[in-house]
Amino acid sequence: MRRTNAAQAAPVAPAERRSCGFATLYRKELADHFHSARFKLVLLLLTLAGLASLFGALEAVSDANASSSEYVILALYTLSSNSIPSFASFLAYLAPLAGLALGFDAINRERAQGTLNRLVSQPIYRDAIINAKFLAGVTVIFLMIFFVGILAGALGLLVVGIPPEAEELLRIGAYLLLTVVYTSMWLGLSMLCSVLCRHAATSALIVIALWIYLTLFASMVVSVIANLAYPLDGIMGFYNAMDNYQLQLTLERASPYYLYCEAASTLLNPNIRTVGITTQASMSGALASYLTFDQSLLLIWPHLTCMVALALFSFICSYVLFMRQEIRA
Greater confidence, 132 or 64?
132
pLDDT category of residue 287 using cuts at 50, 70 and 90: low
Instruction: Confirm whether 300 is domain-assigned.
Output: yes
* Residue 178 pLDDT: 94
Instruction: Confirm whether 74 is domain-assigned.
Output: yes
Instruction: Confirm whether 281 is domain-assigned.
Output: no
User: Do 265 and 274 form a contact (C-beta atoms < 8 A)?
Assistant: no
Residue type (1 letter), 286: A
Please determine, for residue 12, whether its predicted confidence score (pLDDT) is greater than 80: no
* Residue 226 pLDDT: 85
Instruction: Confirm whether 4 is domain-assigned.
Output: no
Distance (Å, whole) CA 78 – CA 171: 12
pTM confidence score: 0.86
Phi/psi of residue 122, nearest 5 degrees:
-75, 160
* Residue 6 pLDDT: 42
User: Do 69 and 260 form a contact (C-beta atoms < 8 A)?
Assistant: no
Q: Please compute the mean of the pLDDT values over residues 134-140 and round it to a whole number.
A: 94
**Residues 303-307: contacts with CB under 8 Å, at least 24 apart:** 303/259, 303/260, 303/262, 303/263, 303/275, 304/178, 304/181, 304/263, 306/256, 306/259, 307/178, 307/181, 307/182, 307/185, 307/256, 307/259, 307/260, 307/263
* Residue 185 pLDDT: 93
Instruction: Confirm whether 148 is domain-assigned.
Output: yes
* Residue 277 pLDDT: 62
User: Do 241 and 232 form a contact (C-beta atoms < 8 A)?
Assistant: yes
Q: Please compute the mean of the pLDDT values over residues 269-293 and round it to a whole number.
A: 67
Instruction: Confirm whether 112 is domain-assigned.
Output: yes
208 burial type by CB count under 10 A (0-12 exposed, 13-18 middle, 19+ buried): middle
Please determine, for residue 7, whether its predicted confidence score (pLDDT) is greater than 50: no
Count: domains in the chain: 1
Mean pLDDT of the chain: 83
Instruction: Confirm whether 103 is domain-assigned.
Output: yes
Distance (Å, whole) CA 274 – CA 192: 35
Please determine, for residue 18, whether its predicted confidence score (pLDDT) is greater than 70: no
Instruction: Confirm whether 280 is domain-assigned.
Output: no
Which range of residues forms the domain containing residue 42? 15-274+291-324
Helix ranges (H only) for 161-279 are 166-196, 200-212, 218-229, 237-252, 256-268
* Residue 161 pLDDT: 81
Please determine, for residue 318, whether its predicted confidence score (pLDDT) is greater than 70: yes
pLDDT category of residue 64 using cuts at 50, 70 and 90: very low
To the nearest whole percent, how much of the chain has pLDDT over 90? Answer: 36
